[in-house]
Amino acid sequence: MCPKYKLEEKVPRCMYCGAVIGLATGRPDRKFCSPECKNAFHNANRKITTSHYHDRIYRMLENNYSILKHLLAMGVTSIDRRTLRELHFNHEYSTSYSKLGHRHHYTCFEIHYDITPTRAINIENILDSQPE
């Protein structure tokens, strides 16, 4: 067959369901066969984005937790905030926060710590300090 007779024209298909998009109405560069498919496509992508957002937060919490746990294993209960930042610790991610007087008290899972303008102090694992 001669190449000029090959039918290789692209048929526009819906990005959600894969159905052929009719060109009789609407814009010629449409990406969806119906408003329902368009909404379903964007809703599905929003859920993926939300899931990724939750995963990112959990990774940040895990990172903070592992840093605090490592510091406690080394016997460190107070550390300069600049050093913490260099370790990629971000106190914006915690599982609990409260303000006690002039101190900002944070919890990352079972590890408590206070943040002052220059230091993280009173780092402790509450499970280790509870009587059995």
- The answer to whether residue 81 sits within a structural domain is yes
- The answer to whether residue 2 sits within a structural domain is no
pLDDT digit string, tens, across residues 7-63: 445 778 899 898 888 776 778 788 998 899 999 999 888 777 778 888 999 999 999
Q: How many structural domains are present in the chain?
A: 1
Q: Domain range for residue 116?
A: 12-22+30-129
Verdict on whether the full-model pTM lies above 0.75: no
pLDDT digit string, tens, across residues 52-101: 888 999 999 999 999 999 999 999 999 999 999 999 999 899 999 999 78
Say yes or no to pLDDT of 2 above 70. Answer: no
The token pair that represents 75 in the structure block:
């016997």
